[in-house]
Structure 1
């Protein structure tokens, strides 16, 4: 397929590369001219053959809204827009309605895989009309990991971002449990090799997971996490998950507690939060604060994939 990719940062750039390796033609736009194939969204649209498909990978909120609104002005009936960022699921219906009034399709896709996705593949959670999903299947097949799993058509518009939101909420709880377990092992005078303990759990245990692998990797780099400050941001999706739980009267004690733990991390230097920070950096390249309080350079720093409202056509 031919596809346009808007936002070539840590996720969008790697996704574009994986698609190219899979034989697709990708025309990329980014406000950073050093990595962009075209100079504007208009030029991107002009380079694509109808019916066009444009995948948006910019930060949620105003950057995504502004970009999709501009694409709605430039694209034609029969074209298709995909929002692969971490947008709120309620925003998806607004985008779908506005684009639909112009005859333009819309699909929302939750994407998981972080900085490892180029090599391992991305887990994709899509929401949208069946005909739009079918049209995108060659793209989904290339982006996802090999095998039967890794992709789901979760439901109608908004479903993709809703299940990705819940996925990230679950991730919060899992990371918090691993971090608290690490802190307890570190505090014990009985356990003399914490790293070896976590290594041993990677095989044969019911808690073996990719997060456990990343925890071991983080400890191999810094055995006592002495170089990190116990501070961890929340992506926003943890909050949305808790808010949705309240709306649906569904109790989420573990996920809610994990979210509140991140709030606590901003008030004091928490040992468990050092592990949360280390895990986020391992799987997503998120910035980490050093023990001296300086934030290290990471993939969440403002970068090429950010398209501010005033610069959406830059």
Structure 2
């Protein structure tokens, strides 16, 4: 098939390469002149035969909105936009309705696989009408793993990004559990080989996973993680997952705690814990550890 792809960064660039390796013709646009095939989005549209398929892999939010607005002016009835970033599912429905007025079709696709997707294949979670999804099915088949799996048509417009959002929320919880297990084993004086322990879990255990493989790889490169700061950013999907849980009155304590743990990682000296320390001192007479004190020398109770 022929497809236009806007956004040739770490994900989009590797996706374009995998599609070309599978025999598809990819016309790519990016602001980086070193990686793009055309200089403008208008030129990309001109290079594609109708009915056109254009896949967006740009940051969620304003960048995605601007790209869709520009394509809405350039594409023709019967053309299809696939939004493959991490957009909020609520925005998908609004964009699909706006494009429908021009006869332009819309599919949302959550994509998972990171920088390893070119080699291993991607997980693709799709939302849209059966007709529109079927139009792009050869593209989805080429991006997903060669052995099968990794694909779901989750529902109507917005469903693809909704399930990708939940996927990322679950990912937050899994990562946090591995992180807490690591800290506990390193804090105890009974475990001599923490990296080896994680490595041993990769086979025959119920916690074996690709995330575990990546953790072992990180520990192989830096056994004590000395080269990293204890700072974790969140890309937005965790917040949306927690908000959706609130909206639907679904308890999600693990995902919520994992999100808040990332917030805590950005505080060098937590104001909240300062309040806890002050209150303990007031009602219990506990010594307050000052910012200049050595916590190891502070009496505990």
Scaled by the length of structure 2, the TM-score of the pair is 0.89
User: d(CA) in 1 for partners of 2:24 and 2:132?
Assistant: 18
Structure 2 residue matching 1:266: 3-state secondary structure = coil
Aligned to 2:264: 264
Aligned to 1:103: 103
Mapped pair 1:37 → 2:40: no
User: d(CA) in 2 for partners of 1:22 and 1:87?
Assistant: 27
Structure 2 residue matching 1:186: 3-state secondary structure = helix
Greater RCO (Cα-Cα under 8 Å, separation 6 or more): 1
Structure 2 residue matching 1:11: 3-state secondary structure = helix
Give the greater-gyration-radius structure (CA).
2
Aligned to 1:145: 145
Aligned to 1:281: none
Aligned to 1:293: none
Aligned to 2:79: 79
Aligned to 2:23: 23
Aligned to 1:159: 159
Q: Deviations over 1:161-187 (max 9, x none)?
A: 000000000000000000000000101
Aligned to 2:283: none
| Aligned 8 A contact 1:87 1:161 in 2 | yes
Aligned to 1:202: 202
Aligned to 1:120: 120
Q: Deviations over 1:184-240 (max 9, x none)?
A: 010111111111111111111100000111111011111111111100000100000
User: d(CA) in 2 for partners of 1:84 and 1:45?
Assistant: 18
Gaps of 5+ in 2: 271-301
| Aligned 8 A contact 1:154 1:163 in 2 | yes
Task: Measure how far apart 1:147 and its partner are.
Answer: 2.8
Aligned to 2:228: 228
Mapped pair 1:192 → 2:192: yes
| Aligned 8 A contact 1:230 1:268 in 2 | no
Gaps of 5+ in 1: 271-314
Aligned to 2:243: 243
Task: Measure how far apart 1:269 and its partner are.
Answer: 8.4
User: d(CA) in 2 for partners of 1:253 and 1:201?
Assistant: 26
User: d(CA) in 1 for partners of 2:242 and 2:111?
Assistant: 20
Task: Measure how far apart 1:149 and its partner are.
Answer: 1.2
- Correspondences of 1:271-310 after superposition (within 5 Å): none
Task: Measure how far apart 1:94 and its partner are.
Answer: 0.9
Aligned residues: 270
User: d(CA) in 2 for partners of 1:140 and 1:241?
Assistant: 25
Structure 2 residue matching 1:46: 3-state secondary structure = helix
User: d(CA) in 2 for partners of 1:251 and 1:56?
Assistant: 33
Task: Measure how far apart 1:34 and its partner are.
Answer: 1.3
Scaled by the length of structure 1, the TM-score of the pair is 0.85
Aligned to 2:287: none
Q: Deviations over 1:266-300 (max 9, x none)?
A: 00389xxxxxxxxxxxxxxxxxxxxxxxxxxxxxx
Aligned to 2:278: none
Task: Measure how far apart 1:146 and its partner are.
Answer: 1.8
User: d(CA) in 1 for partners of 2:39 and 2:196?
Assistant: 51
